[in-house]
Amino acid sequence: MGAWEENVRRVTPYTPGEQPRRQDVIKLNTNENPYPPAPGVRRILEGFDTDSLRLYPDPAAASLKDALAEACGVKPEQVFVGVGSDDVLAMAFLTFFNSEKPIVFPDITYSFYPVWAEEFRIPYEVRSLDGEFHVVKEDYYGENGGVIFPNPNAPTGLAMDLEDVEDIVRRNPDVVVIVDEAYVDFGAESALPLVEKYENLLVVQTFSKSRSMAGMRIGYAVGSPKLIRYLEDVKYSFNSYTMSRLALECGTEAVKDRAYFEETVSRIVQTRESAKKILRDMGFLCTDSMANFLFVTHPEHRAEELFLALKDAGIFVRYFSSPRIDNYLRITVGTDAQMEALYRFLERYLNRGKSV
């Protein structure tokens, strides 16, 4: 090992979902939206002035912040934007979690949280979900250096009632509480109305799921003006121009088309609810997911084996080898046609060797 390596910061990185190079697959492993972005986004792309790319984008991202502020019912100075919610969350970790006390988050949750904590050398403790994978709100009372949890949670898909979310915020007045709402539009109640009541609450959302723009990388946070100012200060100490001109224009257009947003979300929710029934009829156990994915296990078939069989058939889902969930699969809700292909495969797989 070279001497220079002694000073390298080593972390265990986040493992993203597989991105297959093949085009002839059914991709249900990374919770992308199966429908295209709002029609206005295509118009922006088709008419985009490429000559403008020689100019820096607006560092304040004013057009996008204005559109988001109007959609969320807050002031523009209460909105922070970044390159996907991962960028926003990482910036929030760096900005707000600087106590010697450990931050707390669930043991089964978005696996980037411990990565950021270790990378930024933030002490942390996990709080176990209960036997049915629900967050136990009482576990987040008491002294800590900050709180973060997703609602709905991932990969379980389970959502907390807003009154329980507020209870956690109310009982942690001395630290910042971050509610990660990447999947909130598919059935959970957002904590956005609480930001006017609690100065220490930061709500983070993304364009990657409900707005069909995972490839554009747009995320945002809403909170008190003071929280947002602190975030902006840290952002400007790293990179003033985080959002490209194209992302700003496309993001602004997507936010304006509320009708299209609601239509596609509704279609995904309908398919999800139908999928729950169909999979349960096949013998799967499913959580009552309020996200755009399903979290399932089958009492007679190992999840890893089923994951590999699906992959061989060109159907990609997500398997986690983590304790407590190593016999579960997370299945993104696709189009009805994609889900029908999934059901057909599962019927054949589950009935192998059985007489017809």
Residue-wise pLDDT for 235-257, tens only, equals 999 999 999 999 999 999 999 99
Give the β-pairing of 219-222 and 79-82: antiparallel
* pLDDT over 80 at 191, yes or no: yes
Fold (CATH) for 21-36+259-350 = Aspartate Aminotransferase, domain 1 (3.90.1150)
Mean pLDDT of 279-293: 98
Q: What pLDDT does residue 268 have?
A: 98
Residue 349 has pLDDT above 70, yes or no: yes
Mean pLDDT (whole number) for 305-312 = 97
Average pLDDT over residues 9-13: 86
Kindly tell me if the per-residue pLDDT of 338 is higher than 90.
yes
Mean pLDDT, residues 68-89 taken together: 98
Q: Which of 242, 206, 202, 207 is nearest to 222 (CA)?
A: 202
Residue 355 has pLDDT above 80, yes or no: no
Q: Mean pLDDT, to the nearest integer, of 283-306? A: 97
Predicted TM-score of the model (pTM): 0.96
- Average pLDDT value for residue range 332-340: 98
| pLDDT at residue 127 tops 60 | yes
Domain ranges of the chain: 21-36+259-350, 39-256
Read off the pLDDT of residues 170-186 as tens digits, 9 standing for 90 and up. Answer: 999 999 999 999 999 99
Pick the CATH number of 39-256 from 3.40.640.10, 3.20.20.70, 1.10.287.1080, 3.30.450.40: 3.40.640.10
Which of the residue ranges 3-12, 137-146, 182-191 would you say has the lowest mean pLDDT? 3-12
Note whether 92 and 98 are within 8 A (CB): no
pLDDT at 17: 87
Q: What is the mean pLDDT of residues 206-234?
A: 97
pLDDT at 22: 83
Would you say residue 356 has pLDDT above 60?
A: no
Give the mean pLDDT of the chain. Answer: 96
Res 190 pLDDT > 90? yes
**Alpha carbons 294 and 28: distance in angstroms, whole number:** 10
User: Stretch 74-79: mean pLDDT, rounded?
Assistant: 98
- Does position 353 have pLDDT exceeding 70, yes or no? no
